[in-house]
Structure formats: structure tokens, C-alpha cells
Chain A
Amino acid sequence: MSFYNIYHKYKNCSFEELPNQELTKLLSLEAEKSLEAMAQKAKTLTLQNFGKTISLYTPLYLSNYCENECLYCGFNANNKIPRRKLKIDELKKEAKFIAKTGLQHILILTGESKKLSPLSYIKESVKILNKLFSSISIEIYPLSQTEYKELIAAGVDGLTIYQEVYSQSEYKKLHPAGPKQDYQFRLDAPERAARAGIRTINIGSLLGLAPWRKEAFFMLKHAEYLQNKYPEIEMSISLPRLRPQFNNFQTPYEVSDKNIVQIITAARIFMPRLGITLSTRENSQLRNNLIKLGITKMSAGSTTAVGGHTLEKTYIKNSLQFEISDKRDVSQIKIMLLKEGYQPVLKDWVGALQNE
């Protein structure tokens, strides 16, 4: 059994024909009329389950070598951008820069190139980062169960992997070349990581690539499937919305702020204990407003370039995966959260190897 069986059963249904009335009702056009009531309920549930706290993290890009040709991504193999992989001394410098901000949770990212940024390189990087951070998550190419086990043993405790788009037909069009063409291998990655013993899993749909109501439905069903099957996992979702990137890819399906609010509130009501992550893809004003509706984790002080904090500026400018919108640094985000009545949580795990 894989989530693919569930997806396959309903993939050709219209939104109205999908099962699970509770969830489809929350995501329906009709529910837009009840958005305020949904927001009130979501706020209460979030307070009850997570309190007045928001966890903070930041991405660290290790490498932008990539064999995929995802039409919407700045790291598309056809894009003529400067490519590099952080050397160990560069990684140490970048990590120290981030650690100085007080952040303890880090998300490491690579493009998909097993040849140029192999598992051994990622493991070596994790071992260095263990000394500075209490939680290390990965957002890299999908791995086998054994490979996830190896990374967990090295000190990784969280996995972020977006299916990008649940619609298999859109997926095929948007991923014309590269190993990422294998839809099901990617879809099953969180389950392989769960079996390998990962502690947290964060999944997502890149909003704007397909009609959002059905995308949100499958993302939340996927989260529910994983949580039910692996109850020990701390499960969360992300709501990445397409941002401008190098190749000026045009968003095929607009997703409005109102739609984002509906997804967040529906997700919270559907799964009260689900973590909800919001990245710096969204602007500062929207992020400030979304905190009260169900967000539990935010990125801060982000860059989407390899070595984006410490390498030379001309290189960074030309090698972004996408443009971020909320450019506030960690201290500014902390001040904003406290002003809004929320405690910024910089450390929320004990580290795999720290102090041992």
C-alpha cells in the first residue's frame, strides 16, 4: 500500500466527486463565504495545540547542480546560472553566519544531482552542521529507505519533500527530463523516510501549478495518510506559492491570498495537530497576518542561493532558485512575533548527536 493507490483511485474525479466530505467542504468555493468562521476556529485550535509560539528555521543551500528540467525552477539544468557546491570551509563559514543569528533549526537543500552532490557529501555536511545546530532537516532529491537511514544516523531528523504538483498529468508536463520524472518514487519518499525512522516530515504542493482545491485535497489526504500510518511522526505541510525565477515561468493557475487563507484554515480544522510552515516566499504583511490563523513554523533571514550569506554578491545575485519576498532578518522576525504576542522558538529539538 502506498499513497499512490489512494491518489490513483481519485485522480480523475472532479473536485465535487472527491471523497471525504468534511475536507472537500472546507476547501470548496462555497466555504469561502464562511472564511471568517473558519479562521476563528483555526485560531482556537492552533492556540490549543501549539500555544502562542512560532518555530523559526532557515534554509542553507549546499549545491545547485541539477539534472532536472523543472519548468518552474531556477535550478533547471538548462538555465545558464553559475553552478557550485559549497566546499567544506565555505560550508563552515555559512553555517557559522547562520548560527550567530541564534537559529538552531536548519534546512539543507541541494538540486538533484547524485553525481555532483552525492549522499557522501551530504553526510559529511550534516556532520559539520551537527556541531552548530540542534535540528537538521533535508530538502534534497528523494532517497531509498537505506539512504534515509544513513542520513538519520549521521544526524538528520527532518525531511521536507514537496510533490510539487499532485496532478500526475501536470507533473509529467512540468518535469520533461531528469530523474524527477519518476512521480511515484517522489510521492513515496516521505513514507520511505518514515520507515527509516525520521522524526519530522514536511510535505507540500507548489501552489500555482494546478487547480489548487484538488491539489490541497491530495496534499492533506497525503498528510493524513502518513500521520495515520506513522503516528510517531511530527507531520507538517508547507504552502509554497510560485515566485518569480530565472526563466520567467508564468504561473498557470493563480492562487490568491484568500485561497491561501482557506487552505491554512481548512488544514488546521482537518488536522488540528498538523504543523503548518510558511516560507519567505510570501510578503511580510501577509506573513504577519497569517500567524494567527494556524502557522506554526516560519523561515527567517532566508536566501535561495548556495552560500547566499557569505559568498561573493555577484555570484549570489545570478544563482537564486527563486526570489524571496520577505527579506527581514532573524532579529526583525523575532521582534515582529513578540509584538504580535507570539514567542519565537529558535530551538525545539535536542539534536541527534549534540552533547553526546
Chain B
Amino acid sequence: MSDSLIIAGQEIKNRLFVGTGKFPNKPIIKEVLEQAKTEVATVALRRIDLESKEDNILDYIPTNCTVMTNTSGARNAQEAIRIARLSKAAGCGNWIKLEVIADNKHLLPDNLETLKATEVLAKEGFIVLPYMSPDLSVAKKLIEVGAAAVMPLGSPIGSKRGVKTAELVKILIKEIAEPIIVDAGIGYPSEAAYCMELGCAAVLVNTAIATAKDPVKMAESFNLAVRAGRLSYLNATKSSGQASASSPLTGFLQTSE
């Protein structure tokens, strides 16, 4: 039985999405994406130089990868919408990792502006994957206005602090039918595996791979961890999360029968 992830009708076999910022050079990005067997890579439009013949980051994205343009740098809905439209006009496709951040100190997303931009862009036919603080009401509204998935943060971007928001992410997974993809904060492959065991549809990793001693080997490690986590999710016996009491409270029912 196929275990592919479907986003906007597109079949995605590999559940590890990779961000392309922070790498020591551009050629290594290609090696990383190939080694991770990634099918979705994010690229910030602010870093794409279409004029440059020798230095265009898009040349390093393998052809089997869907480019998801990141609206990094957008401080409000209006700026994010403009960046998304520029991206489409520049031929970068219509997959958008919507990132609206008005807080350069912690890089936490602005959920309200994200919601506004999602509504406009989804209506224009973009496949919008919004990065957000895990809030159930906002997540539901994002889906209502047309988001293809919801990407809650595990902890702030680049912090490598792990999935500090796990309890909230679990609620999103339980209550929302569309894919939940943890984006930001994942520092180690074990944390990526944990997200998958929780039931996330995918994870998006950048800093942990880009700043590793050997980004290519780290990409391989993340790929294995994401697969392991997914297999575990599909096959583990679900625990109720409660121990069985040695003196059951309803035991008397059996003796009285």
C-alpha cells in the first residue's frame, strides 16, 4: 500500500522537506538534496538571482524537487503577497512557503498577517503552506481559506531547541485533516523521527543540516530518521498513555456477576 503524502494533488514519497539557506556553498545544496532524497525544497526568493548566470541557486535544485518559494523577509501580508507574486512571475512555480515575520528578535511568525496573505494567495491559485505558531483556531481558519497544509513551528527558526510545541502540534494533528508539517526548531534527526511518530505528515529542516560538520551525511541521517519515524507511526501499537491499575475500580462488577 502506498504511503505517499498528497499535497494539492501531487504525490510526495519523501516526507523530509529541506530548506536551502545557511549552506557554506551552493553546490553542496545539490548533494544534500540528492542524499536526503528530498522532493520538496524551500528557496527564499530574496536569495534568487535570476540575472546571474553562474550563481543562480535554482540551478542547484535537482529536477525531481518541487521548489517551494519562501517569502522570507516579509513583515506583513502585503509584502508576502508581493513576494509570492514576484516568485510566480519569475517562473519559480506556485508553491509558497508563506513566512510572515514582524519580529526579527525571535523570528516568531505573525499568525494574523499569515492568515490574510493565505486567503489572498490561495484565491490566486497558489499552493500555500503557511508557517505559523501552533494555534488551533488559526490553523482551522488557514485551512478554511485555502492553505494546502499547516506548518507549525517546533521552536523558533534556527534555534535547534527541538519540538517544544509538541503538545500543541499533537492537537493540530488530531483536529486537522490536512497535512501538519513541523517547520523550524528541529535540531537533530531524533527530533524529526519524534515528529513523524506523533503523526506529522512531514518535517522541514534547514539549519540542522546546513550547519552540520558534514551537511551531506547529516541529510542522509535526517532522511533515515524521517523514514524510521514514519514506519514507527504506521506500525506501532497505540498506547493509551495510561498504566493499568493493580486494583481496578470496576473489578467488583466481575465478582458480583
Give me the interface of A with B, judged by CB distance under 8 Å. Answer: 47-53, 102, 104, 134, 199, 227-228, 231-235, 273, 338, 341-343, 345-350, 354-356
Contacts and interface: CB of A to CB of B under 8 A. Distances in A.
B102 A347 contact: no
Interface string B179-192: 00000000000000
Contact of A51 (B45, B49, B89, B211): B211
Given A51-B23, A134-B49, A354-B86, 4 more contacts: A48-B211, A134-B46, A347-B48, A347-B49
Interface string B199-210: 000000001001
Contacts of B255: none
B188 to A, nearest CB: 13
A291 to B, nearest CB: 12
9 nearest interchain CB pairs?
A: A51-B22, A52-B24, A347-B49, A232-B102, A231-B103, A232-B75, A47-B211, A341-B24, A343-B25
27 contacts: A47-B211, A48-B159, A50-B22, A51-B22, A51-B207, A51-B211, A52-B22, A52-B24, A52-B211, A53-B24, A102-B52, A102-B54, A134-B49, A199-B73, A199-B75, A227-B105, A231-B103, A231-B105, A232-B103, A233-B104, A273-B105, A342-B24, A343-B23, A347-B47, A348-B47, A355-B90, A356-B86
Nearest to A338: B25
B83 A350 contact: yes
A10 to B, nearest CB: 23
Interface residues of B, number: 32
Contact of B26 (A47, A51, A343): A343
A48 B49 contact: no
Given A228-B105, A234-B104, A355-B90, A350 B207 contact: no
A48 B24 contact: no
Contacts of A50: 22
Given A231-B103, A355-B90, A53 B22 contact: yes
Contacts of A345: 47
B21 interface: yes
B49 A349 contact: no
Contacts of A347: 46-49, 52
Give the secondary structure class of B's interface. loop
Nearest to A233: B104
Interface in B144-190: 158-160
B104 A232 contact: yes
A52 B89 CA distance: 29
Contacts of B160: 48
B3 interface: no
A169 B98 CA distance: 49
Interface in B72-129: 73, 75, 82-83, 86, 89-90, 102-105, 107
Interface of B: 21-26, 45-49, 52, 54-55, 73, 75, 82-83, 86, 89-90, 102-105, 107, 158-160, 207, 210-211
Chain B CB within 10 Å, residue with most, of A51, A228, A273, A348: A51
A257 B49 CA distance: 36
A47 B22 CA distance: 8
Contacts of A227: 104-105
B29 to A, nearest CB: 9
Contacts of A354: 86
B149 to A, nearest CB: 24
B257 to A, nearest CB: 63
Contacts of B89: 355
A343 B46 CA distance: 15
Contacts of A47: 211
Nearest to B52: A102
B20 to A, nearest CB: 10
B24 A102 contact: no
A249 to B, nearest CB: 36
Contacts of A48: 158-160, 207, 211
Chain A CB within 10 Å, residue with most, of B46, B52, B207: B46
Given A227-B104, A346-B49, A53 B75 contact: no
A350 B86 contact: yes
Nearest to A51: B22
B102 A102 contact: no
Contact of B104 (A53, A104, A235): A235
Chain A CB within 10 Å, residue with most, of B45, B73, B102, B105: B105
Contacts of B45: 350
B23 A52 contact: yes
